[in-house]
Structure 1
């Protein structure tokens, strides 16, 4: 496999682990993946059946990574440099801006959910401005850390 193909296979394993971790929080612990609201956990025997299947799938994927992308599993436990941390923080900050803050724009909210009062539009617009200011400051701190 090419380096890019190996990286993709390994990234799939990392994503698999993360999604299964989220599924465990939902199914076993009864924790919503997106809010603080409690959920009803699955019955223990139901979750155990699901967990066994997911564990088998994870083991199969790890085996494939071990065979097709040798060395990638070992590198997973090595601490990456500050550049990698800053890279991921930049990606997550962009997601925060694009998937949360931009979606609160009053015009978008009205397109999706219908008209708001003028007071609601003004309040929501001010909230979006405040959130954007905050994330802009975070971006500046990340850039300063990158230059340091």
Structure 2
């Protein structure tokens, strides 16, 4: 089972509407950023062999980030996914969906990135850079498939 991590909608009514629509489509959503312990269910899910999907290019609600380079410029990615991978032992698998037509997508999967439970900040940053490099590779090949949202 895949859980998609999202920031909560600002408007509670919009959040409920969007969550209901996603659930009807079979998408399970976990909202993070409202409480420091929001990610604990994700850790348990990973430890049981589940999958967690996270957008690498969206800022962390907590503000905790890792410094990397994207296209030769400073860029920040959320620290949480890398901490979860280290704590759970789950690999990070950079995966991108390229739209090829109406309801048609091509999945682009990059090699897994492994972290140990004792990963220090430097190891987290190296893993984050590898994941960001994978994103850059995808964007270079399909530039119309990425839009940088301002936080």
From the CA coordinates, give the structure whose radius of gyration is larger: 1
Does the alignment reach a TM-score above 0.5?
Answer: no
Structure with higher strand content: 2
Relative to its length, the structure with more helix (as a share) is 1
- Relative to the length of structure 1, the TM-score reads 0.28
Q: TM-score, normalised by structure 2?
A: 0.28
